[in-house]
Structure 1
Amino acid sequence: MRQAVHDWYSSTALKRLQPDRNAVVIILTRWHPDDLAGRRLAEEGRLEEGGRWKVVHLPAIADPKFGIDPLGRQPGDPLPHPKIRTRDRAALLAWWHDMKRTSIVRDWHALGQGDPQPSEGALVSAELLRQLRDRGEGAEPQKIAVAVDPSGGGRDTAGVVGGFLGDDNRVWITHDWSGVMSSAEWSTAACRLAHETNAAIIYVETNYGGDMCELAINTSWETLQRDGEIPLKKLKPMVQTVRAKQGKLLRAEPIAQQMIQDRVRLRGVFPDLEHEWSHWMPTDPMSPGRIDASVYLVYGLLPEAGGAAVVHAPLAQRPNPAGPGAAISYTRSFGSGGR
């Protein structure tokens, strides 16, 4: 169907332009990277890159990954709506967040953000992630943790993910507070999440911040206590630093395998987290923070998950009907805990 559209554009639409005055304007929902707009940009380029097309991209929530916002919005700012006062930022955010909450992951990123991505070759499928959502088992937390992948290394988004190891021997992901944040902001978010969930430990990756990452968390905890958000008598969770030595594929594949084996569940719907897991490709240079944070969370709570790794991307399939603890076959060791 896509090829038919490309053929029509080349053989029919372009052949009917007037020679003395003409313009082509394409307005569409971006359902696929190789749709009409995607193919035009791939073949003919953007104006700012010396190409042919001026692109006006207006995502529902401004995101720096799309470049300079046409409306001058800052990261995280909402798109105006004709039925909501432009200055009422809270109402606008509530509207778009409700749209996000009531949309499947694919629809939100295509319709809301104009950011379609192929899912072929991803570590896990969107269907698998849907099946991993809470089915009412009611597992009781045995150990609660927060994991952080700080912004850095050319990426503005910090991953902040919370969850627990349940009495069913599964890791349950319960919160995703990730976003575009400075070091002061992500460390504060991590401390607030740890306080809200009564987490016993905070895992933080230190590849780009070193000891400053742990210092940022300690400082934020003390600040929140001084401001009265956290009781003074409440003990700060242990902070355990993680230094990732393997590439993202070797870190993420064992966790994808645990998802397939039904050792990891989602307590709720997490559109951004699910989108990263179901669309990230092993060849992508970008390092999504939500994937890394959730990987560190599972490694910390379920350390045997990182004891070995598969050497191929796991197939997208239903959770293992044999349930948690079923035999898993691995082919390549890379160290305890994947660290």
Structure 2
Amino acid sequence: MQQMNEKERRIRARLMADFAHYAAKCLKVRAKGGRIVPLKLNSAQKYIHEKLEEQLVTTGRVRALILKGRQQGCSTYVQARFYWKVTHRRGVRAFILTHLEDASRAIHAMVQRFYENCPEAVRPLATRRSSRELVFGRLDSGYAVGTAKSSGVGRAHTLQYFHGSEVAYWAQAEQHVAGALQAVPDEKGTEVILESTSAGAAGLFYQMCMDAQKGRGGYTFVFVPWFWQEEYRKTPPADFAPSAEEKDYQTAYGLDDAQMYWRRVKMEELGGIWTFRREYPSSAEEAFHSDRPNALWERAGIDRARRHPADAPEMKRIVVAVDPAVTSGRYSDETGIIVAGLGTDGRGYIIADLSGRMSPPEWASAVISAYYKYQADRVVAEVNQGSDLVEHTLRSFDASIAYKSVHASRGKMARAEPIAALDARGLVHHLGAFPALEDQMCRFDPLQDAKSPDRVDARVWALSELMLAPRKEPRPMIWQPD
């Protein structure tokens, strides 16, 4: 074998020590457009690499849980990382376990592509290549792929590297993870990486992630938001105008209009905000969010009934309902403020959610502003905490408003159930997305919760006034969406 000169030794040493450099120089992947290109780490992959290397330096081993969105390159990163390790070390084995046969084939094809396109100088001889395995005999190292459909997968060998792909969707997840952990010794240099998109707030992956965030279980938790993907953006049309919900979201995460327009289009493709939040989360809470089993409302029903504001009919009546908080401050309850309308089609429409933590002058100002902005014909206020004070606060801003006070004389179940029944019949539509309100609706179980959420209460009062309270036929009112 020809001896390497000093320059070649330096090059080889860097390739062995610097994964990002090695990936860009030696590994090829199929890009989303179909071209075969060098593997240059994207923002999400760089972040994952940084977190894993940080743990490796700190503990001597990697035990990681990665929660991410669709098509962010997480699996590609882990395959490349393990390929790099098994082709540069002796006597090590990597095993990848996926949730579907198609996923197993795709991952194995990716690894074969790494091998076929790797420069000969840094490519060890493969002594066995099959549809499931790649073995480097001289190194006594290997790389294998399996599918999580039998209880014995991954138990046959001692492993140094284990990658569980889409763990939240595995059948028999507990058995597979237990088997993998038994196969990987608790030795320095070993790595266990479990990654997945969310399958809701249940199951092994969810529980492991919750434990990791609390510092339990020995795993580091890594979350990757969708908006780190450079390609997740779409040029908006000239008349693009973010909704109130979109403006709040945009401000919260520092996004530009191209990212927001991509989000809007993708949300329409997926059929609603709930699916988008699970598939393309901006936070771990969003990713794992799921409806409470006994909640009065289901997210799928809200999504089915959702309408675009431009499709709203003329409104016969519009009300602004307010459920004022008793106190104001950082940890106080929210004041619920909901604008709702009764369409000429006889259906209820949620027009705006203006709720938040506010002082009395702040919520009164918000209510009066909404009263005029939406041409409401009445303010409806829950006054359990003092009717005179609520009315006085509102009329101190505008004495001329049409005002009605309501009292929670019946239990929260009795108040909410008739409105939930209207929703179940498809008679109430949300004009756009109201994530905070919808979260409260789908988590509210009147039999378990001591207090009903403020946004939900305001929504119930608004729709009760519009759709349940007996009254004479009013004059038509026309509301034009923003």
TM-score interval (norm. to shorter):
0.5 to 0.7
Structure 1 stretches of 5 or more lacking a match?
61-74, 81-88, 223-234, 306-339
| Corresponding position of 1:121 | 294
Q: 1:254 aligns with which of 411, 418, 441?
A: 418
1:92-147 Cα deviation digits (max 9, x unpaired): 38677656655322135431242233334332333332332348876432222101
**RMSD, aligned CA:** 4.0
Q: 2:462 aligns with which of 297, 306, 310?
A: 297
Instruction: Give distance in 1, aligned partners of 2:324 and 2:219.
Output: 35
AA of the residue aligned to 2:173: V
| Corresponding position of 1:5 | 173
| Corresponding position of 1:197 | 374
Q: 1:162 aligns with which of 307, 318, 339?
A: 339
8 Å CA contact retained: 2:316, 2:343: yes
Instruction: Give distance in 1, aligned partners of 2:401 and 2:444.
Output: 31
Residue 327 of structure 2 is aligned to residue 150 of structure 1: no
Instruction: Give distance in 2, aligned partners of 1:94 and 1:59.
Output: 17
AA of the residue aligned to 1:149: D
Residue 273 of structure 2 is aligned to residue 273 of structure 1: no
8 Å CA contact retained: 2:348, 2:466: yes
Give the number of aligned pairs: 267
What SS is found at the alignment partner of 1:129? helix
Instruction: Give distance in 1, aligned partners of 2:297 and 2:403.
Output: 30
AA of the residue aligned to 2:468: P
| Corresponding position of 1:332 | none
Report the Cα offset of residue 299 of structure 1: 1.1
TM-score of the pair, normalised by structure 2:
0.46
Q: Which structure has more strand as a fraction of its residues?
A: 2
What SS is found at the alignment partner of 1:112? coil
1:163-188 Cα deviation digits (max 9, x unpaired): 22233333222222223434333322
Distance 1:4 1:215, change over 3 A: farther
Instruction: Give distance in 1, aligned partners of 2:221 and 2:326.
Output: 28
Q: Which has the higher contact order (CA 8 A, sep 6+)?
A: 1
Instruction: Give distance in 2, aligned partners of 1:243 and 1:108.
Output: 38
Report the Cα offset of residue 246 of structure 1: 3.5
Instruction: Give distance in 1, aligned partners of 2:453 and 2:373.
Output: 25
AA of the residue aligned to 2:391: E
Percent pairwise identity = 24
Q: How does 1:52-131 map to 2 (within 5 A)?
A: 78=251, 92=255, 101-102=264-265, 103=267, 104-110=272-278, 111-115=281-285, 116-119=288-291, 120-131=293-304
1:20-71 Cα deviation digits (max 9, x unpaired): 6888776654441124453126678824xx88677687989xxxxxxxxxxx
Residue 310 of structure 2 is aligned to residue 132 of structure 1: no
AA of the residue aligned to 1:39: Q
AA of the residue aligned to 1:297: A
1:72-91 Cα deviation digits (max 9, x unpaired): xxx989555xxxxxxxx5xx
Report the Cα offset of residue 256 of structure 1: 0.9
8 Å CA contact retained: 1:29, 1:114: no
8 Å CA contact retained: 1:78, 1:93: no
What SS is found at the alignment partner of 2:335? strand
Q: 1:241 aligns with which of 400, 405, 408?
A: 405
Report the Cα offset of residue 298 of structure 1: 0.9
User: Is the radius of gyration larger for structure 1 or structure 2?
Assistant: 2
What SS is found at the alignment partner of 2:172? helix
Instruction: Give distance in 1, aligned partners of 2:223 and 2:176.
Output: 24
TM-score of the pair, normalised by structure 1:
0.62
More divergent stretch after superposition (149-158 vs 110-119): 149-158
8 Å CA contact retained: 2:353, 2:434: yes
AA of the residue aligned to 2:437: L
Structure 2 stretches of 5 or more lacking a match?
1-168, 227-247, 471-482
